[in-house]
């Protein structure tokens, strides 16, 4: 018999508040178990990316990944997103409706590294590609560029296997530089940000695209010289 059932038997229905507290504790426990799954999924995908990067470094003397960032979405942001999506607030609903609870950002050195890393990751037997949004091929209207993948990775537990979703954003250092500055506008409304600022950022996005392409081209020229 579960702890809360014993408590419930002993109390009858005398104190509903206590029962509510028990429910609350159960929910927290369930939420904690879910967070552990997402943490495990981040670890798995990070390790896969690091292994790919190390292999490249050894084989081709080139490290495609500059660095990796990751985060578990905070309970507050999870709540905000559920409300924004107008869906139920429960652990099951998080599982069904959110795909970015576990987030990994891969910052690459050159544009050509992005597709390589994405392809090698998605090709792995235990990785399922759920969604691919290529905002490099098709930048957002504000100029945002990045490759977004939603993948599922199996997490092997003592008594079951869970397929956990992870959002992987892959971009160059320059694209990341741009996105961090643009992100500062996130909490401002359209009216609060002048068109001048938005236009300047858009122009920066264009310059950054040129810069990324030129850096790639110089890198290839240097490599060809060395061969």
Contacts of ligand GTP in 74-113 (CB under 6 A): 100
3-state secondary structure of 168: strand
Chain centroid to CA 155: 17
- DSSP label at residue 99: S
Parallel, antiparallel or unpaired: strands 161-172 and 102-108:
parallel
CA–CA separation, 220 and 222 (whole Å):
5
3-state secondary structure of 51: helix
Binding mask 144-163 for ligand GTP (x = CB under 6 A): x---x---------------
Binding mask 78-107 for Mg ion (x = CB under 5 A): ----------------------x-------
Q: Which residues pair with 169 in a beta bridge?
A: 105, 148
Nearer CB in complex with ligand GTP: 86/159: 86
Exposed, middle or buried by CB within 10 Å (0-12, 13-18, 19+), for 124? middle
Quick check: 68 and 107 in contact, CB under 8 A?
yes
Question: Among ligand GTP, Mg ion, none, what binds residue 140 when CB lies within 5 to 8 Å by partner kind?
Answer: ligand GTP
Question: Among Mg ion, ligand GTP, none, what binds residue 183 when CB lies within 5 to 8 Å by partner kind?
Answer: ligand GTP
Alpha carbon distance, N-terminus to C-terminus of the chain? 71
Quick check: 101 and 94 in contact, CB under 8 A?
yes
Nearer CB in complex with Mg ion: 29/71: 71
140 sits near ligand GTP (criterion: CB under 6 A): yes
114 sits near ligand GTP (criterion: CB under 6 A): no
Is 227 marked active-site? Answer: no
32-41 burial code (b ≥16 CB/10 A, e <16) = eebbebbbbb
Among the options 167, 182, 214, 227, which is catalytic? Answer: 167
Question: Among Mg ion, ligand GTP, none, what binds residue 179 when CB lies within 5 to 8 Å by partner kind?
Answer: ligand GTP
Which of 44, 176, 182, 212 contacts ligand GTP by CB under 6 A?
182
Q: How far is the CB of 135 from ligand GTP (least distance, A)?
A: 7
Nearer CB in complex with ligand GTP: 153/179: 179
User: Segment contacting ligand GTP (CB under 6 A): 17-25, 29-37, 140-148, 158-166?
Assistant: 140-148
Residues that bind Mg ion (CB under 5 A): 100
Catalytic positions: 167
């Amino acid at each position: 018999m579960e702890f809360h059932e014993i408590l419930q038997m002993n109390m009858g229905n005398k104190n509903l508040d206590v029962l509510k507290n028990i429910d609350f504790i159960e929910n927290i426990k369930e939420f904690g178990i879910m967070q552990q799954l997402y943490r495990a999924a981040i670890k798995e995908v990070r390790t896969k990316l690091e292994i790919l990067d190390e292999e490249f470094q050894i084989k081709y003397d080139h490290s495609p990944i500059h660095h990796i960032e990751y985060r578990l979405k905070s309970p507050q942001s999870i709540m905000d997103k559920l409300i924004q999506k107008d869906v139920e607030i429960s652990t099951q609903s998080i599982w069904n409706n959110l795909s970015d609870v576990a987030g990994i950002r891969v910052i690459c050195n050159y544009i050509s590294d992005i597709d390589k890393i994405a392809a090698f990751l998605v090709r792995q037997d235990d990785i399922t590609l759920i969604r691919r949004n290529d905002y490099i091929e098709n930048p957002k209207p504000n100029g945002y560029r990045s490759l977004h993948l939603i993948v599922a990775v199996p997490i092997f537990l003592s008594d079951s296997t869970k397929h956990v979703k992870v959002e992987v954003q892959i971009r160059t250092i320059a694209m990341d530089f741009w996105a961090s500055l643009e992100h500062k506008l996130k909490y401002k409304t359209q009216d609060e940000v002048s068109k001048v600022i938005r236009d300047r950022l858009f122009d920066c996005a264009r310059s950054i695209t040129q810069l990324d392409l030129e850096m790639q081209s110089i890198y290839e020229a240097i490599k060809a010289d060395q061969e």
